[in-house]
Amino acid sequence: MSSAEPDRNGADVVVIGGGIIGLAIASCLRQRGRSVLLLDRKGIALEASYGNAGAFAFSDVMPLASPGIMRKAPRWLLDPLGPLAIPPRYLPHIAPWLFRFWRASRPDRVRRSVLAQVAMMRLAEQEMSALVERHGLASMVRADGALELYESEDEWQAALPGWELRAAHGIAFQHLRGGEIAALQPGLSPRIRVATFVPGWKTVTDPHLFARAMATRLQEHGLIFRQAEVRTVRPDGDAQVSVHLADGTKLAASRAVIACGAWSRPLALALGDRIPLETERGYNTTLPPGAFDLRRQLTFGAHGFVVTPIGGGVRVGGAVELGGLSAPPNYARSQALLDKAATFLPQLRTTGGAPWMGFRPSLPDSLPVIGPSRASPHILYAFGHGHLGLTQSAATGRLVADLLTGQELPLDPAPFRPGRF
């Protein structure tokens, strides 16, 4: 079908992307009475929203682009299965992104990024609480806090500036040693010397099921979902947008939101916006129930991985592989993370696990783009959240809904504007 078809489902906003960001946007728009058509090429929450670590990381205000990461990066890159990897074939492609990442790690830019993230996280915590209540999802949220673990005093001391910065912005935490650590998480290796407990950290019981439950509630209250691949989005008249599907269908709407994560870049480029979106290929293994008595999420920052209670089992994942969308998964990275976790959790049963790889949409300054395209104020972007998509989903939904309905924004949108690069 090549002619424009007024959306036969009657939706006036088309949201492209059926992950947690798209769902949160749909939720906020439906709350304001807007009709929404949600499109995704695969289905509901089948990409990064499927297998992530399931955290509401509201205290995670430090950008990935930071002086500390720049100091660690050369050592990490020497290990092909380490926390950071860039396949040699991909290096020429990603070089401009790496240059922007390096610039974003300068202290003055880090300070600006932290201020933007603090504002975003305050909004995120408030809006996620409202979203969970709105859709009856409280039983799927765990409020256990999290432990950041250190092998030495030197490693802990190196992390202290980040904690001092968090303290300056009112984020609660407690440094622990010895029996205090064991009381919160038995079974750790004696290699762990210091820990920092973050009581406000929360996780969901399973990020895929959380997103699916939200989608079910939304569909019961009028959300329309359609599995379809979007090729282009274009302005179409003074107050219209056309969405062109891979099967030749052309949908008409009054507004469109591009929120399809790592697949958003070509849609933005076709609208004239050169947004430096890259993909962090993240790996994990989900172990079955009984693998370990895990009380809360554990973060091993020096090694770039986390261990999370998921669905009664244990998910071991993390690391960053900057390798694009087309290369096949390298599940040796999942196994390397699992082997490393076993050195810190001696009682961890590492058999029977399911490996997974997903694409985190990443921008060099660690902030998402949220705002209108240059082609039309009726086409908005909402992508690039990196590993904070679940955490910042409800806040993103609120901001997009405010922008689309002409409401005053609850924070300064300038750090997130698409044209900042």
Query: Tens digits of per-residue pLDDT, 279-326?
Result: 999 999 999 999 999 999 999 998 999 999 999 999 999 988 999 999
Domain ranges of the chain: 4-49+209-275+366-420, 67-105+141-201+277-361
First-to-last C-alpha distance (Å) of the chain: 37
259, 25 contact by CB (below 8 A): yes
Q: Give residue 75's pLDDT.
A: 77
Greater pLDDT, 77 or 33: 33
Half-sphere exposure of 177 toward its Cβ, with a 13 Å CA cutoff?
4
Domain 4-49+209-275+366-420: CATH class, spelled out? alpha beta
Asked whether residue 5 carries a pLDDT value surpassing 60, the answer given is no
Q: What is the mean pLDDT of residues 58-85?
A: 82
d(CA 141, CA 136): 11
Q: CA triplet 206, 209, 211: central angle to 5 degrees?
A: 105
Q: Please, which contacts does 2-10 make with residues 24 or more away whose CB atoms are closer than 8 Å? A: 2/248, 2/250, 3/250, 4/236, 4/242, 4/250, 4/251, 4/252, 5/249, 5/250, 5/251, 5/252, 6/252, 7/37, 7/251, 7/252, 7/253, 9/35, 9/37, 9/224, 9/226, 10/35
Cα dihedral: 3, 9, 11, 15 (round 10): -80
Number of H helices, E strands in the chain: 11, 22
Q: Was domain 67-105+141-201+277-361 assigned CATH 1.10.10.1100? A: no
> Buried b / exposed e across 131-159, counting CB within 10 Å, b at 16+?
bbebbebeebbbeebbbbbbbeeeebebb
Q: CA triplet 103, 105, 106: central angle to 5 degrees?
A: 75
296, 315 contact by CB (below 8 A): no
Q: Give residue 10's pLDDT.
A: 57
- pTM, two decimal places: 0.95
Q: Give residue 6's pLDDT.
A: 46
Please state, for a pLDDT cut of 90, what percent of the chain lies above it.
90
Asked whether residue 140 carries a pLDDT value surpassing 50, the answer given is yes
pLDDT digits (tens, 9 = 90+) for 236-276: 987 789 999 999 999 999 999 999 999 999 999 999 999 99
DSSP-assigned states of every residue in 311-379: TTEEEEEEEEEE-TTTSPP-THHHHHHHHHHHHH-TT---SS-EEEEEEEEE-TTS--EEEE-SS-TTE
Q: Give residue 145's pLDDT.
A: 97
How far is residue 296 from each of residues 178, 242, 308, measured CA to CA in Å?
Answer: 17, 46, 7
Q: What is the mean pLDDT of residues 23-46?
A: 97
245, 228 contact by CB (below 8 A): yes
Q: What is the mean pLDDT of residues 107-132?
A: 96
Strand 55-56 versus strand 202-204 pairing type: antiparallel
Q: Give residue 82's pLDDT.
A: 83
Q: Which of 136, 134, 133 is nearest to 29 (CA)?
A: 134
d(CA 19, CA 393): 10
Asked whether residue 103 carries a pLDDT value surpassing 70, the answer given is yes
